[in-house]
Amino acid sequence: MADVRLTSVGKIYAGSVPAVKDISFTVPDGGFCVLVGPSGCGKSTLLRMIAGLETITMGEVRIGDRVVNTVEPMDRDIAMVFQNYALYPHMSVYDNMAYGLRNRKTPEAEISARVAEAARILELEPYLKRRPRELSGGQRQRVAMGRAIVRKPQVFLFDEPLSNLDAKLRGAMRVEIKKLQRHLGVTAVYVTHDQLEAMTLADMLVVMNQGVVEQIGAPLDLYERPETVFVAQFIGAPPMNMIELTPTKGLPAGLDGVAGLPLPAAGARLGIRPEHLGVEIDGDARIETRPGDVRLALTVEAVEAVGAETYIHGRLGGDGQMIAAREHGKVLLPAGTTRTFTARREHLHLFDLATGRRIAH
């Protein structure tokens, strides 16, 4: 067991812009760290640097108490699950799992014991003699997991392991991965672009954008206190509404109650999550107004009712920007009607217009 410590890690490909810039964080022993961000943000590069598949241009990567910058992948005591599973097509499931142990000259008796144990945990026992091409996507995924766990590594690395599965299987495998990691107590670093996967798996979430870390923290902390506009809009679905407030240009029409906010002279962005916009229905004020609340007049353009909740898309002040609201239950407003939506003071997020950083208020 070991922690993973990154200090000022950077990667520059020859004659190109930096892919990863000055990244430092520590994944505690037994922790589940998820690197999340849009494609091209450098998350996979960072993972491959931890694995030893990419050279480290700057900084230092430690696994346990050892600096591994120049250590070969095989000697880092890691196991990796690839996006395309990377199973050896010419070997049986058994041989796929045994390969890493055989390379390390493990006695055959111990190999078969370890493979049997992994097959039992992953419910792969009936398939040990099959070739990967005779398995379904979910089974291949489990073989890839099995290949990782038989080695009993100090760190698991996952490179978008679920993105080739269909939505239903992805949900089930997500739960299994989390259970397995808890059960084995192994440190894990997991890369994904799916924010739902990131939120549900992580103890520690690292949001990356254009090669830099935007924010690190527990998933719900990031949801509740995003430090940047990017994090605010990346975490949560539908994404957080952003309204530009520039005092010199005048406030957008249909927006009420922002006078008390500490707006910088240069302007700010006001962020409101869709689920924090409550609608008043037919004069029956379900929402009692408190001082400091912000009220938005939205003209409804589209209503998506999915049963347990309803998504309402409307224009601010009739012809302003589109705002999304998420209501409990069925709220079937006809298109074209104008309603007032209220957001509580404590649910408002303010970001500096120029830097995109959070402003305390």
Structure tokens at 130: 């099959």
Q: Are strands 78-81 and 32-36 parallel, antiparallel or unpaired?
A: unpaired
208 neighbors 41 (Cβ within 8 angstroms) = yes
71 lies in the site for another protein, by CB under 8 A: no
CA 16 to chain centre: 27
15 lies in the site for another protein, by CB under 8 A: no
Nearer of residues 100 and 252 to another protein, judged by Cβ: 100
51 lies in the site for another protein, by CB under 8 A: yes
User: Of residues 340-359, which lie at the interface with another protein (CB under 8 A)?
Assistant: none
CB of 85 to another protein, least distance (A): 8
Q: Find the binder of another protein among 22, 31, 53, 313 (CB under 8 A).
A: 53
Residue 216 to residue 227: CA distance in whole angstroms = 9
User: Which range in 68-76, 107-115, 208-216, 252-260 contacts another protein by CB under 8 A?
Assistant: 68-76
Angular region, 174: left φ>0, alpha ψ -120 to 50, beta rest: alpha
> Is 146 strand, coil or helix?
helix
73 lies in the site for another protein, by CB under 8 A: yes
CB of 88 to another protein, least distance (A): 6
User: Which range in 3-11, 62-70, 88-96, 296-304 contacts another protein by CB under 8 A?
Assistant: 88-96
CB of 86 to another protein, least distance (A): 4
Helix and strand totals (H; E) in the chain = 8, 19
Q: How many other CB atoms are there within 10 angstroms of residue 192's CB atom?
A: 22
Nearer of residues 85 and 351 to another protein, judged by Cβ: 85
Nearer of residues 48 and 174 to another protein, judged by Cβ: 48
137 lies in the site for another protein, by CB under 8 A: no
Nearer of residues 90 and 183 to another protein, judged by Cβ: 90
CB of 299 to another protein, least distance (A): 51
User: Of residues 98-127, which lie at the interface with another protein (CB under 8 A)?
Assistant: 99-100, 103-104
Nearer of residues 153 and 236 to another protein, judged by Cβ: 153
- The backbone torsions φ and ψ at residue 283, rounded to the nearest 5 degrees and listed phi first, read 75, -25
88 lies in the site for another protein, by CB under 8 A: yes
Nearer of residues 21 and 142 to another protein, judged by Cβ: 142
Residue 361 to residue 288: CA distance in whole angstroms = 22
Q: Greatest CA separation found in the chain?
A: 77
Q: Find the binder of another protein among 1, 8, 24, 74 (CB under 8 A).
A: 74
Q: What is the DSSP letter of 16?
A: S
55 lies in the site for another protein, by CB under 8 A: no
Write a three-state SS string for 235-304: CCCCCCEEEEECHHHCCCCCEECCCCCCCCCCCEEEEECHHHCEECECCECCCCCCCCCEEEEEEEEEEE
Residue 297 to residue 300: CA distance in whole angstroms = 10
User: Of residues 151-210, which lie at the interface with another protein (CB under 8 A)?
Assistant: 151
251 lies in the site for another protein, by CB under 8 A: no
CA dihedral 331, 332, 336, 342 (to 10 degrees): 0
CB of 224 to another protein, least distance (A): 37
Binding region for another protein (CB under 8 A): 51-53, 72-74, 78-80, 82-84, 86, 88-90, 99-100, 103-104, 147, 151
